[in-house]
Chains A and B, each alone.
Chain A
């Protein structure tokens, strides 16, 4: 069974790429973590076309978990899922962006399925910092 892929959707291209870089460290080269950040021209915002391309790239046959930052990232992800026609399983995780990405990559590298990776991403809300 192929590992689950991860797509990070942010308003900022730099933020999505940075979070992907951080998450890949946990994926130990096993997991595809793809950024979908900013608009197509590199401005702040969300692009459903970039999201679609990132999902295709991240999907190795094991499904894809989406992690989004704010507002339009979440709405664009939900709109994308409503339209999804492919047979591959794609799920939007309810998770903090950076911590969720790292937790998801660790779980995916450990061989977790889409449900397992989604749960791991959501559990990142519980890591307190004080």
Chain B
């Protein structure tokens, strides 16, 4: 699997869905999630050199996201990708076990930076079941595991609708945040859709 294609596909999906992500964020946040993440990912794609090994690709994409995104999704996705990149180390190929370790490292990085846990109505609610589902299916190979992860992310994101936000701008709304899909969880679904698309191709 080509991790550069993962970032490219993630960027395409976010561009296509930017207005929906921003609308979700307008409902319970500051209304810039789609535009910010789209800007950061376009810059990340532009910064990627096709000759880099997987770990370096993710580190570069992560660093660009941190510097060009502008909103909280920059440091969060940026840290996730950099931790994933670090987990790959010098590996030249992406296998199912290696990707699983990278996804786990990404999740831990996001939880550490954002101090969010499951149930806080954040991207962690989509990421946690996605990583768990991936790990459960890793033995069946990359394509099956990434499909399981996408399914986990979708279910986790959907479950944020019923939750009251305890993190981020949405937490200022209190009970009024209930009944809305968390925009970070929604973009996390796109991250995993991109992964499943790219892993399914190879």
| Secondary structure class of chain B's binding surface, majority of residues | helix
Q: Are A78 and B70 in contact (CB under 8 A)?
A: no
Kindly count the residue-residue contacts between A and B in the assembled complex, taking CB atoms under 8 Å apart.
48
Number of residues of chain A lying within 8 A (CB) of chain B: 17
Binding site for B on A (CB under 8 A): 11, 39, 43-49, 70-72, 75-76, 78-79, 82
Q: Are A45 and B71 in contact (CB under 8 A)?
A: yes
A residues in contact with B32, CB < 8 Å: 44-45
Closest Cβ of chain A to B84, distance in Å, is 15
B residues in contact with A82, CB < 8 Å: 79
Q: Are B113 and A72 in contact (CB under 8 A)?
A: no
Q: Are A72 and B70 in contact (CB under 8 A)?
A: yes
Complex CA–CA separation, A46 to B69 (angstroms): 8
Q: Are B67 and A72 in contact (CB under 8 A)?
A: no
B residues in contact with A78, CB < 8 Å: 75, 113
Q: Are B71 and A46 in contact (CB under 8 A)?
A: yes
B residues in contact with A39, CB < 8 Å: 70
B residues in contact with A72, CB < 8 Å: 70-75
Q: Are A76 and B36 in contact (CB under 8 A)?
A: no
- Given contact pairs A70-B169, A75-B75, A46 touches B70 in the complex (Cβ within 8 A): yes
- Given contact pairs A79-B66, A79-B79, A71 touches B113 in the complex (Cβ within 8 A): no
